């Protein structure tokens, strides 16, 4: 018979997550993390330039964001790091007030994200239409592609054959084996070729100097006064909103790709904690990064927090321990990887002629507006908000058209009954006043709302206006058929029950 110790050991083995049991999962997660780390380096440096800070500030942010969010985040396998959207928001702070105020802004934004997560802002995600989500994904793919074009402009001619060779490797190598990620093979092969042949092309090292030591913790060098708070608060709030929106949208995308659920509230709070930690270590802050997340989840098939955590660790190991080697990686290799990521991320089915013929015009319009605004502003948050508002307007107009009014006059001509059907709210009830014949109707008017529902104060005000117009002509109005919620709203706003 098994001993108690044997039983306990077996029970502990059963509690271990799958990635601790399967060596194949470990291999997938480690190799995925290495590819993500390589892809993070040039982008972190580029975003540092946008924010006007030293490249090390962006690299430190990518390191601390990835490592922290892997522990406290709500979405497994999603990667957070320094991002262009956050860099654009906080750049004015650094340009006008200096690095100390920028770091303070990052930490305050983290506090705000924790507060927003605690009050349930993540629940607003369910109000995002599918067409907005599709537009978000497609716009993101376009932005990733466009961001690579400068690396192919005004460069030595060997860049182009290297870039094409990278694309060929990325397409063909997975047909041979998927044990090793094709992006990693592409980076290694093209680096070896350029170094061995002495080909002079732009490299990672040309983007900026890599850090040679780990970040040192410390508080920002700013006066702890109300004046400082007044200066940084607006930027911090903008960063908190932009960071949460991008992170939650990316988390939803990964949910769909992996057919798994994630805690959006935990992710919101986790983003806040990660930004506080990042500020404490002198980083520029960040949020979820769609490009590297797609490399991790879709290209490399990573599924656990291990890949995210190791991506941050490998980033620092590569910069500090293998800086000269990493600096020799040709940008053409990384550009090829990111272009393939953009192609894979784009929802080609959404723009297929067959799909467009079946889709309602409103849905296509919302997707198109989201894509155009995001690409035009390079701001995902602005595009998503604009797309959502467009969807709301289209929905309101569509529902408003479903409201109908029919009238029947009794044979004796003493009463007319108006039957109203549909959803009554500001968009549909505003036209309701013109549907009645105030001068020609008999002295008694019945408004039957048994097939309608009152949603807002605008509708109650419209019903009051109808009653007033009839009263001015000495006629009485009776409102009947209200369901319980509609009757309660009408009573609360008018102070008297319907049917008076």
**Residue 444 in this model has a pLDDT that exceeds 70:** yes
Confidence of residue 91 (pLDDT cuts 50, 70, 90): confident
The arithmetic mean of pLDDT across residues 342-351, rounded, is 86
Element (H, E) at 406: strand 404-409
pLDDT confidence of residue 499: 55
Give the tens place of pLDDT for each residue, 25-57. Answer: 888 999 999 999 988 888 888 788 778 888 899
| β-pairing verdict for 444-454 and 404-409 | unpaired
Higher pLDDT, 274 or 120: 274
pLDDT confidence of residue 434: 86
Q: What is the DSSP letter of 419?
A: E
What does the alpha-carbon distance between residue 69 and residue 113 come to, in Å, rounded to a whole number?
Answer: 13
pLDDT confidence of residue 179: 78
pLDDT confidence of residue 326: 87
Lowest mean pLDDT segment, chosen from 4-8, 323-327, 337-341: 4-8
| β-pairing verdict for 80-81 and 287-288 | antiparallel
Lowest mean pLDDT segment, chosen from 77-81, 179-183, 492-496: 492-496
List the end-to-end C-alpha distance of the chain, in Å, as a whole number. Answer: 82
Name the one residue in this structure whose structure tokens are 């093979």.
185
Give the tens place of pLDDT for each residue, 445-477. Answer: 999 999 999 999 999 999 999 999 999 999 999
Name the one residue in this structure whose structure tokens are 């920002």.
220
Give how far the C-alpha of residue 132 lies from the chain's centroid of Cα atoms, to the nearest Å: 10
Is the separation of the CB atoms in 101 and 220 below 8 Å?
yes
**Residue 149 in this model has a pLDDT that exceeds 80:** yes
What does the alpha-carbon distance between residue 51 and residue 378 come to, in Å, rounded to a whole number?
Answer: 15
Element (H, E) at 346: none
DSSP string, 175-189: HH-SSS-HHHHHHHH
C-alpha dihedral over 134, 140, 143, 144, to 10 degrees?
-130
The arithmetic mean of pLDDT across residues 100-120, rounded, is 95
- In a 13 Å sphere around the CA of 27, the CA atoms on its Cβ side amount to 7
**Residue 15 in this model has a pLDDT that exceeds 60:** no
Is the separation of the CB atoms in 259 and 76 below 8 Å?
no
**Residue 108 in this model has a pLDDT that exceeds 90:** yes
Residue 22 zone, left/alpha/beta (φ > 0; ψ -120 to 50; rest): beta
**Residue 439 in this model has a pLDDT that exceeds 80:** yes
What does the alpha-carbon distance between residue 403 and residue 418 come to, in Å, rounded to a whole number?
Answer: 13
**Residue 13 in this model has a pLDDT that exceeds 80:** no
Give the residue among 333, 343, 113 at the shortest CA–CA distance from 241: 113
Q: What is the pTM of this model?
A: 0.75
């Amino acid at each position: 018979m098994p001993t108690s110790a044997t039983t306990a050991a077996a029970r502990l083995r059963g509690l271990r997550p799958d990635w601790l049991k399967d060596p194949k999962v470990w291999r997938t997660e480690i190799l995925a993390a290495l590819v993500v780390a390589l892809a993070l380096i040039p982008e972190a440096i580029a975003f540092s330039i946008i924010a006007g800070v030293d490249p090390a500030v962006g690299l430190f942010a990518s390191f601390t964001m990835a490592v922290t969010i892997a522990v406290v985040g709500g979405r497994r396998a999603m990667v957070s790091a320094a991002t262009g959207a956050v860099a654009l928001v906080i750049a004015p702070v650094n340009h006008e007030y200096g690095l100390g105020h920028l770091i303070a802004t990052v930490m305050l934004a983290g506090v705000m994200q924790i507060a927003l997560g605690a009050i349930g802002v993540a629940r607003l995600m369910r109000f995002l239409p599918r067409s907005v989500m599709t537009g978000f994904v497609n716009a993101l793919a376009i932005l990733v592609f466009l961001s690579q074009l400068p690396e192919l402009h005004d460069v030595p001619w060997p860049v182009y054959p290297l870039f094409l060779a990278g694309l060929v490797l990325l397409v063909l190598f997975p047909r041979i084996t998927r044990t090793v990620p094709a992006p990693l093979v592409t980076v290694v092969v093209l680096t070896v070729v350029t170094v061995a042949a002495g080909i002079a092309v732009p490299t990672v090292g040309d983007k900026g100097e890599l850090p040679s030591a780990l970040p040192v913790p410390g508080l920002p060098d700013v006066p702890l006064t109300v004046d400082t708070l007044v200066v940084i608060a607006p930027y911090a709030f903008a960063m908190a909103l932009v960071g949460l929106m991008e992170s939650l949208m990316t988390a939803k995308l990964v949910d769909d790709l992996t057919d798994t659920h994630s805690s959006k509230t935990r992710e919101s709070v986790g983003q806040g904690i990660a930004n506080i930690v990042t500020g404490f270590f002198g980083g520029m802050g960040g949020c979820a990064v769609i490009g590297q997340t797609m490399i991790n989840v879709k290209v490399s098939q990573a599924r656990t927090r291990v890949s995210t955590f190791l991506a941050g660790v490998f980033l620092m190991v590569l910069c500090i321990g293998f800086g000269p080697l990493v600096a020799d990686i040709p940008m053409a290799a990384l550009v090829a990887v990111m272009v393939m990521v953009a192609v894979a991320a784009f929802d080609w089915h959404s723009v297929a002629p067959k799909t467009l013929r079946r889709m309602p015009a409103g849905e296509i319009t919302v997707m198109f507006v989201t894509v155009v605004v995001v690409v035009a502003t390079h701001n995902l948050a602005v595009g998503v908000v604009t797309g959502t508002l467009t969807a709301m307007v289209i929905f309101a107009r569509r529902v408003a058209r479903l409201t109908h009014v029919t009238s029947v006059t009794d044979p004796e001509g003493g009463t007319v009954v108006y039957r109203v059907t549909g959803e009554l709210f500001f968009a549909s009830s505003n036209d309701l006043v013109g549907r009645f014949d105030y001068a020609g109707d008999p002295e008694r008017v019945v408004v039957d709302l048994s097939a309608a529902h009152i949603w807002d104060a605008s509708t109650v005000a419209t019903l009051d206006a109808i009653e007033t117009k009839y009263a001015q002509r000495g006629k009485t109005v009776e409102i009947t058929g209200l369901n319980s919620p509609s009757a309660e709203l009408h009573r609360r706003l008018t102070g008297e029950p319907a049917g008076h």
